[in-house]
Structure 1
Amino acid sequence: MLRDFTVRCALMVICLCVLAPQALAQALAIVPITQQLPPQQRTASFTLTNHSDSEALVQIRGYAWSQTESDEVYTPTTELAVSPPFAKIAPGQKQVIRILLRTPAGMSEKAYRVFFDQIPDRLSGKVEMALRLTVPVFSSAQPAGDPDVEWRLELVGDKPALVAINHGKQHAQLVNLSLTAADGQAIKLKGVGLPYLLSGTERRWPLQGVRGRLDKSLRLHLQTSGPGEHWDQWLEIK
């Protein structure tokens, strides 16, 4: 029985080695990786490049993007048109994807995401993995200014959470968001998700692994780094 088990394991390793190059060969690249449409601009474009050794069939769709306290929400929309909606790209070739904002943005920034879904070739005889890439698109009818993010710690029952509210008219980028206790302990955030906080949105992240008393004596150091605004401040439970 041990010998049979060893043989089965060896066969699994061989299969994985055979499939790995095929999976790695499926490579699509998008430039740019985000679009910020300034006032009065309603069109933009992406360049999609097929770096694989086989033809790529890609479906492109635009969605309205919003956020709840704990999740990203994508809603089908006719406000953002994409052309072409399908692209067939030969190995090593490129395809320009154009977007058109049919509805002008309002006073606050509007957010969308463009989905690029590679459709597997079921007739190729190869095992292919589904590939999805998403790119954010932001638009505002006027200069939106800087994000205005309010941070606080809240305690609901015995469960602490980090809360962020963006009062500004532009999204905020929360790159490398981290919390540290006074003793240097790193505090984990549950369900961090995408590093964006959309205009007018409130997000909530439960804290994990907090030691000690969970009351108003708890102080945590919040920091972010990367593009856009940086935050560096101490927070207390209110």
Structure 2
Amino acid sequence: MKNLSLRRAACSLVLFFAGATMALAGSFQVNPVRAELSRARPVSAMTVRNTGAEPAVIQLRAVSWTQPDGKDRYDMAPDILGTPPIFTIPAGGSQLIRVGSRRPPEANLERAYRLFLQEVPPPPQPGSKGLRLALRLSIPLFVIPATAVSPELHWDAVAVASGKVRIHVANHGSSHAWFTQIGLVMVQGGQALPISTLPVYVLPGAAHDWIVDVDTSTDHTLRLTAQGEVGTIQTDLTIPAR
């Protein structure tokens, strides 16, 4: 996917109240939808395009990205410089933005950040009635070391309650893992089980859990499949009876 529209992407919507009765929203796209920096490529460029019918004012902000306890956490990132920090794009126009790091890459560990592109809504016009939706898009940014890095995934599954199983993946490697098109079936019988299919990032040293509904009164073997950046991932997980 070469570009990502905020009308279709999973993004945050910041709601600004301006009366009632109508919702208004801008729309913009970013290409590419992920950025990488390295010693060989200290600056990355992206194009932001305004697909709406009105000028759009957009603010660019970089944050560090960690995942303590499997939850995304964002903090200030003074070592990442994004320019221009705020800009206006006319309707149908585009803006080139650039991102660089003030810190050199680590020797053998990937660093992770997020770039937030936040629409700044115009002030409400006198007498206007409606809701103004300010759109925000989050772009992953990775600073890659000179040495080769890769994720190292460890999977397990355990019954945590009657009829509930936790599938756990820990990344012991030196770079992130990214999963899409996640599926889960019972090896005995091939029954598909419901599991969240939302794309998942697991950063180095972090972990992720899925809680799924499974009959825990007998032993089961579950087969999890997902698309990763290096191809299809498949792992079988044995669940002892609870």
2:45 and 2:98 in contact (8 A); partners too: yes
Distance of aligned partners of 1:226 and 1:157 in 2 relative to their CA distance in 1, 3 Å threshold: closer
The answer as to whether partners of 1:175 and 1:227 remain within 8 angstroms in 2 is no
2: CA distance, partners of 1:61 / 1:155: 41
Amino acid at match of 2:153: V
Query: Runs (4+) of structure 1 moved beyond 6 Å?
Result: none
1:218 to 214, 217, 220: 220
Letter in 2 for 1:120: P
Deviation at 1:164, TM superposition (A): 0.6
Distance 1:143 1:38 in 2: 10
State the Cα deviation string for residues 138-179 of structure 1 (Å, max 9, x = none). 112223333221111123454421111112211111111221
Do structure 1's residue 187 and structure 2's residue 193 form an aligned pair?
A: yes
Matches within 5 A, 1:80-229: 80-106=80-106, 107-124=108-125, 125=128, 127-156=131-160, 158=162, 159-182=164-187, 183-189=189-195, 194-207=199-212, 209-213=213-217, 217-225=219-227, 227-229=229-231
Quick one: which amino acid aligns to residue 220 of structure 1?
Answer: L
Q: CA–CA distance in 2 between the matches of 1:179 and 1:210?
A: 11
Change (3 A) 1:30 1:52: same
State the alpha-carbon separation in 2 of the partners of residues 39 and 154 from structure 1. 42
Aligned residues: 215
Deviation at 1:195, TM superposition (A): 2.0
Equivalence for 1:44: 44
Q: 1 or 2, which has the higher helix percentage?
A: 1
Q: Distance in 2 between matches of 1:79 and 1:174?
A: 28
Per-residue deviation, 1:78: 0.5
Show CA shifts across 1:46-100 (max 9, x none).
1111111101011110010111333211111111111111111111111111111
- Please, what is the CA RMSD of the aligned residues? 2.3
Which structure: larger Rg? 1
Moved more, 103-112 or 176-185: 176-185
Equivalence for 1:231 = 233
- Counterpart code for 2:142: F
Give the Cα–Cα distance (whole angstroms) in 1 for the partners of residues 156 and 183 of structure 2: 14
Structure 2: any 5+ residue segments left out of the alignment? 1-19
- TM-score, normalised with respect to structure 2: 0.79
Partner of 1:73: 73
Q: Is the 8 A contact 1:144 1:170 kept in 2?
A: no
